[in-house]
Amino acid sequence: MRGMIQQLIENTDQLTIVDMEASVEHMSRGTVRHVDTLLIVLEPYYRSLETASRMIPLADGLGIKRVFAIANKVRDADDQAAVNDYCQKHGIDVIATIPFDMAIAAADRAGVAVVDYDAAAPAVMALRGLAARIKAA
Amino acid sequence: MKIAISGKGGSGKTTISATLARIFAQEGSTVLAIDGDPNPNLGTALGASKAELARLEPLPSSILTEQKSADGTTEMKLSQPIEHVAAEYGVHAPDGITLLLGCRVDHPGAG
């Protein structure tokens, strides 16, 4: 895996998006040598936040230029506060918050991409904002 | 731009990967999407057709070849241009996205 994906990333001129193995522990310096942006998806509950805070120093150690966290499935102000508190305390840079969105499960049930199911779904709109921020960062 | 997306299983990383890919592609980028998850379902999340997904197979290790570098270490390199790899093994997803399925290649000393 490592050699393969590394070579693909290294050789393409296209904008490349890699859906990685679940954990940063599985990544090697080699795999991510040509990755310029790593997004770590976290959820607003303690074990997920803990996992993310363990991943971020590992990711930094891999020498990736930009490492950002994304808070996903955020349901309400309490969720947001939990993420903010934890991330502030642990120095985690959250670049985007994606709201919990029924459209994602509905799209999955329908067997279609969520952008095709509802291009204006709240989660999709939040991801448009994220895309713009990644481009600008 | 080369973006990797990571997160625990069930965190939504595949949906986020796919949706970002579609958004960038709709905004005019030519996007290469690579599924590096051992339990791959990026293609479905991208909205690729069943016919395309049926053609999707892990990249064979034969597209890599061992090359000795100047310092004596060996490195895996692509044995053919990536355009060939994409044309032969890539499948089409909406908005002109090419999807490749990464595969596990175990070889000591790499990475």
Nearest CA distance, A18 vs chain B (angstrom): 5
Which residue(s) pair with A15 in the sheet?
Answer: B31
Handedness of CA B81, B105, A9, B47 (dihedral sign): positive
The alpha carbon torsion through A12, B88, B20, B46 (nearest 10 deg) reads 180
ipTM of the shown complex: 0.94
The secondary structure of A83-128, three-state, reads HHHHHHHCCCCEEEEEECCHHHHHHHHHCCCHHHHCCCCHHHHHHH
- The alpha carbon of A17 is separated from its chain's Cα centroid by a whole number of angstroms, namely 11
pLDDT at A23 over 80: no
Asked whether the beta carbons of B94 and B28 are under 8 A apart, the reply is: no
Q: In terms of Cα–Cα distance, which of B49, B50, B85 is closest to B64?
A: B85
> Mutate which of A2, A17, A66 to disrupt the B interface (most B C-beta within 10 Å)?
A17
Q: Pick the more confident residue, B110 or A105.
A: A105
Q: What is the mean pLDDT of residues A23-42?
A: 81
Nearest CA distance, A21 vs chain B (angstrom): 4
pLDDT at B110 over 90: no
Tell me the whole-structure pTM to 2 decimals: 0.92
B74-78 vs B64-68, strand pairing mode: antiparallel
- Average pLDDT of chain B? 89
pLDDT at B106 over 60: no
